[in-house]
Amino acid sequence: MTRTIDWKNSGILITGGTGSFGSKFVETILGSHPEVRRIVVYSRDELKQFEMSQRFPTERFPQVRYFVGDVRDKDRLYRALEDIDIVVHTAALKQVPACEYNPFEAIKTNILGAQNVIEASIDRRVERVVALSSDKAAAPINLYGATKLCSDKLFVAANNFKGKHDIRFSVVRYGNVMGSRGSVIPFFLEKRKNGFLPITDVRMTRFNITLEEGVGLVLYALENMWGGETYVPKIPSYRIIDLAEAIAPGCRKEIVGIRPGEKLHEEMITLTDSIHTIEFEKYFVLLPSVSLWDTNEFMGTFRGSRCKEDFSYNSGANTDWLNVEQIRELVRSHVDPTFST
């Protein structure tokens, strides 16, 4: 079932391609597969398109193209997908408060946009589609999580209605990316200038994944997907109070309370999902609810085993934890090389 990607003859489109993930993904592909035939960066923000084109100018990287467009616009997607073999779908409205305040806009982008990507990819005879999910899609308690769960279900179900088209759809789910725009680490780095950090709850925990690790898992999924899997990486957790100590040990900590729609611990696999979950050395896979292939063959191919029925995967019950010094080193390595305490 696994097919090696012929990068030299492959065209790739990244929706939301000017975001943190898209930029790192393009950098990684150009570094590891400079022979790639075509990369289309698809996003609706013309300023970010311009800024990204300064990093990857077409004079140096003639295979890179920049398309201004929205996943809500199926006609524009259809045009951008011409001669594309691989789609990485990252476009979404991601800010929890913004989605709560603008619910219909979140639905248009995160759900109807996902439908457009699926249908246009099938019609344009794309071969592989990987959609990025979120920990908030597991037992969602806010609209953003609910829209991402719906999106995940659409991409998995797309394998059932693709007809005779030779295309596979899979999902990659992980938590907050370290240092990404709008995440807690850049927020704390900015707030420490004021001499205090707002702490929602001293018990709060979060998973930690770097951009490089996120890109690596998506590339692994693209290479090995059978269609219908939801990939979840095995990654460490940290305590929010340890993160505050790592970034600003001398600052006053002010407890402000959990925000609406926020969880105490991040979840990526719920107790209910456990009966459909396979464990591998470095990741888990949630199986599609409708059988698409032989599960035993899949487990044998990648050397996996079924999880126990009482299994769940959340940042509070994790067995792998980052301490204060490890967090500091990761901040220096992946967020701000000039960082010091």
Supply the residues annotated as catalytic.
Answer: 136
Taking alpha carbons only, the member of 123, 133, 107 closest to residue 158 is 123
Cα dihedral sign for 243, 248, 250, 256? negative
Contact 217, 283 (CB under 8 A): yes
Taking alpha carbons only, the member of 172, 181, 134, 189 closest to residue 327 is 189
Across the chain, the runs of DSSP E, i.e. the strands, are 11-15, 38-43, 64-68, 86-89, 128-132, 168-172, 196-199, 205-207, 230-233, 237-239, 252-255, 267-269, 277-279, 283-286, 305-306, 313-314
Distances (CA, A) of 157 to 127, 150, 193, 251: 16, 10, 47, 49
Taking alpha carbons only, the member of 79, 78, 50, 81 closest to residue 66 is 50
Cα dihedral sign for 199, 200, 205, 209? negative
Q: What is the phi/psi pair of residue 128, to 5°?
A: -140, 135
Q: What is the phi/psi pair of residue 137, to 5°?
A: -80, -15
Contacts of 103 (CB under 8 A, 6+ apart): 143
Pairing between strand 205-207 and 230-233?
Answer: unpaired
- In 173-190, which positions are buried (b, 16+ CB within 10 angstroms) versus exposed (e)? bbbbbbbbeebbbbebbe
**Number of residues in the chain:** 341
